[in-house]
Amino acid sequence: MKNLVIVESPTKQKTISRFLSGDYVIRSSFGHLRDLPKKTLGVDVEKNFKPSYVVVERGKKIVPEITKIAMSSDNIYLATDPDREGEAISWHIMEILKNIDRKKFKRIAFHEITKDAILGALKNPRAIDMNLVDAQQARRILDRIVGYKISPLLWAKISGGLSAGRVQSVAVRLLYERDKEISAFEVKDYYSLSGRFKKDENQFDARLFKWEGENVDRYTTLKLFAEDYKYRSSVFDTKEKMLAVVKYLTPEKFKVTAVDKKVTSSRPKPPFITSSLQQESYNKLGFTPDRTMKVAQKLYEGIAIKGEMRGLITYMRTDSFNVSDQIQKQAQEFIKKNFGDKYCPEKPPQYLKKVKGAQEAHESIHPTDVNLVPDSIKNSLTPDEYKLYDLIWKKFISSQMENAVFEQLTVEISDEHNKSLFKVSGRTLKFDGYLKVYSDEEEKKDDDNNDNMTLPPLKKGDILTVVDFDVQSHSTTPPPNYNEASLIKTLENHGIGRPSTYATIISTIINRGYVKRDKSRKLLITELGKKVTEKLIEFFPDIMSLSYTADIEDKLDDVADGNVNWVELMKKFYSSFSKELQEAAENMKSEKVIQHTNVKCPICGADMILRESRYGKYLTCSKFPKCRGKINLANNNAERFKAIKTTEKCDKCKDGYMVLRKGPKNYFLGCSNFPKCRNVKQISQAEIDKLLASVGENKS
């Protein structure tokens, strides 16, 4: 019996080949073999949005080979990834091989590439889940319609080469709105007070928490400022107000009015899902979401450990916290053996699913074998692979451990007339529990909000002496610019995008020139991004609405669950979208501005025009397309010449001049009449240096 197993990546093919005998032939599709055409819409909106799929370029070589093997196979196992995209890839493969008996096709899915998982999947094949396929297809068609219908408008009204995306444009809007908040922000001063108190020979500090019954601590003040500081008498917005309080309190006597001592516990956070992995990897490792997903893909598909390919983690595109009984049992045994029984809870922790549409059959991101301790396989991993695997391994082990236990102490102090209330609090770690392995960013924030100082023995009624008061000045700060981690968190909170899309969303909006990453890794909207966003908000309020975009995501989840027909979803969407499109075509004002400069074209000497694309500003010859002289402008506005005219006539067409141009490797001479004349010549380094020096250009 001959069995064909089709996966979507060559690494996955190599890893799975370890587990299957000679009866199986493993082949990779290298991703999607069919897609919508590149140069046309490829969707018939008049006929139930019927897509016209074509075989992608690489598929023209792969399809004949797979077809030949499939023809002689008894079973064809479609073993692509366990998500909508993977389901769609399998369906497209089956559609391409449409002349082969349908009974031969069997869909298998697994969440980790291990021998047990592969063999288990082969014993439990199923049919293609058309609900998942329809959900993927609906998303693809939605995105295609938005991109192909809006982009030409942007070309005509703003600049060529621009594009819009159904989810990406909403992500840019978040940055646009944040930029407006920061620009409009007014810095305000405010003041806080702490007192140094003494009991016997022991001194300690406490913060003024309430004044005349109203909260005045720093954290509450910040909140009050954000709401409406002008109408809050409790906000000390001048130093004089605070000094008046100090003057009143200086002769006062103080006593301890409350001592609250209690034991609290902190539960470990759940294992990683896609969004939390991307955020934590960014915060702790400095990895961009795209980098995180590329490294995770390698860990999932297989790494050579002592000469054998092994999948080290479960599938990395997931929004489920689910963990199999098998891996939980393995984790319990590991924790007891390496840390002791007290670190292992009696019952394995259970974590609720993250979002609507999260499939409980899916797994969270965790090691396939907890006994593969990161340090034991460090030599088999690249530095990036080791760092990410170490993060995933520690996060998972900690998620299966006991709670951390703290002793929380809060002391309240009042003056004899009860006008003031000072407070000092802190916590002491009594049992580290999961913190022995992994500490989250949240725990650090909790500690920042505690004073965490050593206090003398105190009890209610103790009389205290004031040593002195300290008035601290503060200023309100605007909301921070997004970074990649905080943008993903915001998208997730709004229900925009799904695990497989976050990294792509961010890389797309940066590549389009709508957003840039500064030196501190903050994401900043560009002038081009602002201009495009303002136009889209004005004419496409639905597409640019956060709630509408989130609702579409929910509807796609409903399609995947079989509760909504994808064609009906498309009809409802297109009904309102087509109206907005028509209005935009008629009423959107053009903002194309031709800005002439006094810079002369390095080829023909004519004036140059300032233009802007997603790659930045540049100068182009006013005689374009007859003359193709161009100067790119760097961020510092220094001119970098891409073409420098020489006095040498072209010996081929006898009409043009030879122009110094820069290719991917070095400079060369080409005819100014390109593309009509394609004459090219090599040039010596000495001549290059001379020509570059003539225009003040650095050859490097």
* Catalytic positions, written as ranges: 315
Q: Which of 26, 22, 1 is nearest to 79 (CA)?
A: 26
* Rounded distance between C-alpha atoms, residue 567 and residue 576, angstroms: 15
Cα separation of the two ends of the chain: 62
> How far is residue 116's CA from residue 418's CA, in Å, rounded to a whole number?
69
Peptide bond into 675 cis (omega under 30): yes
Residue 307 to residues 304, 310, 377, Cα–Cα distance (Å): 5, 9, 12
Residue 45 DSSP one-character state: T
How many other C-beta atoms are found inside a 10 Å radius of the C-beta of residue 203?
13
The rounded distance, in Å, linking the Cα atoms of 220 and 240 is 20
Helix (H) and strand (E) counts in the chain: 19, 28
Strand 3-7 versus strand 24-28 pairing type = parallel
List the structure tokens of 265: 């516990």
Specify the length of the chain in residues: 700
**Residue 566, number of CB atoms within 10 A of its CB:** 25
- For residues 525 and 182, give the distance between their C-alpha atoms in angstroms, rounded to a whole number: 12
The rounded distance, in Å, linking the Cα atoms of 481 and 198 is 43
- Describe the chain by its helix, strand, coil percentages, rounded to 5: 40, 25, 40
Give, to the nearest 10 degrees, the angle between helix 546-560 and helix 566-587. Answer: 150
Distance CA 280, CA 289 (A): 10
304, 305, 308, 310 alpha-carbon torsion, rounded to 10°? -80
Q: Are 443 and 434 in contact (CB under 8 A)?
A: no
Task: Measure the CA–CA gap between 176 and 211, rounded to whole angstroms.
Answer: 39
The Cβ of residue 461 has, within 10 Å, a number of other Cβ atoms equal to 9
CA distance linking residue 611 with residue 596, whole number of Å: 9
Residue 414 near residue 257 (C-beta atoms within 8 A): yes
339 within 8 A of 435, measured Cβ to Cβ: no
The values of phi and psi at residue 417, to 5°, are: -100, 5
Query: Are the C-beta atoms of residues 681 and 627 closer than 8 Å to each other?
Result: no
Q: Could you tell me if 515 and 524 are in contact, meaning their C-beta atoms sit under 8 angstroms apart?
A: yes
What gap in Å lies between CA 131 and CA 563, rounded to an integer?
9
- Dist. CA 554–CA 557, nearest whole Å: 5
Q: Answer whether the bond into residue 625 is a cis peptide, omega within 30°.
A: yes
| Range 118-150 burial, b when 16+ CB lie within 10 A, else e | beebbeeeeebbebbbbbbbbbbbbbbbbbbbb
- For 163, the token pair is 């594009």
E strands, 24-165, are: 24-28, 34-35, 43-44, 50-51, 54-55, 75-78, 105-107
